Copies of this chain bind each other. A is one copy, B any other.
Amino acid sequence: MNATSWVDGADTGPYGLHHLPYGAFSTAKDPAPRLGVRIGDQILDLRALATGQFFLPWIRPAFHEQGLGGFMAMGPPAWRLVRHQLTELLGDARYRDQSETLLVPVAKARMHLPFQVADYVDFYASEHHATNLGRLFRPDSEPLLPNWKHLPVGYHGRAGTVVPSGTPIVRPRGQRKAPDGAIAFGPSARLDIEAEVGFVVGVGTELGTGVSPDDFAEHVFGAVLVNDWSARDIQAWEYVPLGPFLGKSFATSIGHWVTPLDALAAAKAPAPAQDPEPLPYLRETDRYGFDLSMSVRWNGTEVARPPFAGMYWTPAQMLAHMTVNGASLRTGDLFASGTVSGPDADQRGSFIELTWGGKEPVEVGEGSPRTFLEDGDTVTITATAPAASGGTIGLGEVTGTIQPALE
């Protein structure tokens, strides 16, 4: 497939005809959130298309919703059908006449959460990240815990504080233990990021069943960038024995655009071999990860390029693990990979790793050394992936600026 789009500039950028990610937007003139597909610097208005009876009748109601829930719940046949129709429409220059009705410039749109988050689960699937954090949090023991290579370790996060990219991040307050053992309270002094990739469940399951890793694409609609903001001082004091809580729950940012799995077909890449071999419920007939090249910019300076392809546990294994106990899935469940870190020092997806616990500052602009986030700092995570066209697609960005803690 090598089609071109009639939308100006779309073919040469990260949002060409081979991408077509979904989001929810509104405009000053029409402030109700509605669904759209990004093409170049424009948003194709799906509600306008549905109103114009472009889609099949049974699909149209989904595009009158404010989020992707209804469409995602329809499953892969609907996803493929709509993608096919949108590709045709955006490749057929006869539609150019309808630009004014169908397209909204990204610059004029306000973006919303693309879907209502049901449950949010965060994994810990990078061996390099888990090893680095083990060294930093538990310097006196083996960095990788005994269970780590047997199962994708994960936990539930707070769905209600998942916010769209661009939402200001208020520095959290909380308890921490000072080095002298005193219990202190105040704004976090070790505010960090975690550069992650999230996967969105479209088709849910019944309680008491499980999902095979081979059925990943039957349930997962697409991928979205995630920044799992983390207050390391709060986390370190609270996390034993029930895991991270307030160190994470103050905010998790996700990108505006959900890239459908079909747009990532060319990004499929062999995942690392696993030793020991995992239990049968985690074995994949066709084991693959996604070759996403991530970039982390801190106040505009690129500080890391985490490679997603090297993740030890694949998204399909995460999904299988999450449901092997019979837990049901719901449309809108979001599960994220955990921090993406590669083997090299400049491939680390969190600042606690990049600055080695705050001991090795990084420069984020001339004369601006940083260990953890300062008020006013902005972090932007982006990613690209090989596209079917032979070029690349861009998975959008997830960005946020730190605001001072409340008094």
Contacts and interface: CB of A to CB of B under 8 A. Distances in A.
Interface string A261-282: 0000000000000000001110
B156 A245 contact: yes
B279 A246 contact: no
Contacts of A406: 208-210, 326
A107 interface: no
Contact of A243 (B155, B173, B177): B155
A interface: dominant SS? loop
Interface string A202-245: 00000111100000000000000000000100100111111111
Interface in A144-174: 145-147, 150-151, 153-161, 163, 167, 170, 172-174
Contact of A238 (B153, B160, B208): B153
A378 interface: no
A322 to B, nearest CB: 8
- The quantity of this chain's copies bound in the complex is 2
A384 interface: no
A241 B145 contact: yes
Contacts of A238: 147, 151, 153
A205 to B, nearest CB: 10
Given A241-B243, A242-B155, A173 B251 contact: no
B137 A241 contact: yes
A56 B251 CA distance: 38
Contact of A246 (B145, B146, B237, B324): B324
Interface string A119-139: 101001000000000000110
A210 B208 CA distance: 37
Contacts of A121: 245
B246 A243 contact: no
Interface stretch (A18-26, A292-300, A327-335, A349-357): A327-335
A6 to B, nearest CB: 40
B327 A161 contact: yes
A170 B243 contact: no
A174 B324 contact: yes
A321 interface: yes
A115 interface: no
Nearest to A163: B207
A131 to B, nearest CB: 13
Contacts of A322: 246, 249
A109 interface: no
Contact of A245 (B155, B183, B185, B280): B155
Given A155-B245, A242-B243, 20 more contacts: A124-B242, A147-B177, A151-B175, A151-B238, A155-B244, A156-B158, A158-B327, A159-B159, A160-B327, A160-B330, A161-B328, A172-B326, A173-B210, A234-B325, A240-B241, A243-B243, A246-B321, A246-B327, A250-B327, A251-B326
29 contacts: A119-B158, A119-B160, A138-B241, A145-B240, A151-B175, A153-B245, A155-B242, A155-B244, A155-B245, A160-B333, A170-B208, A172-B325, A173-B324, A175-B279, A185-B279, A208-B403, A239-B242, A239-B243, A240-B241, A241-B243, A242-B243, A242-B244, A243-B243, A246-B321, A246-B322, A246-B325, A249-B327, A251-B326, A326-B405
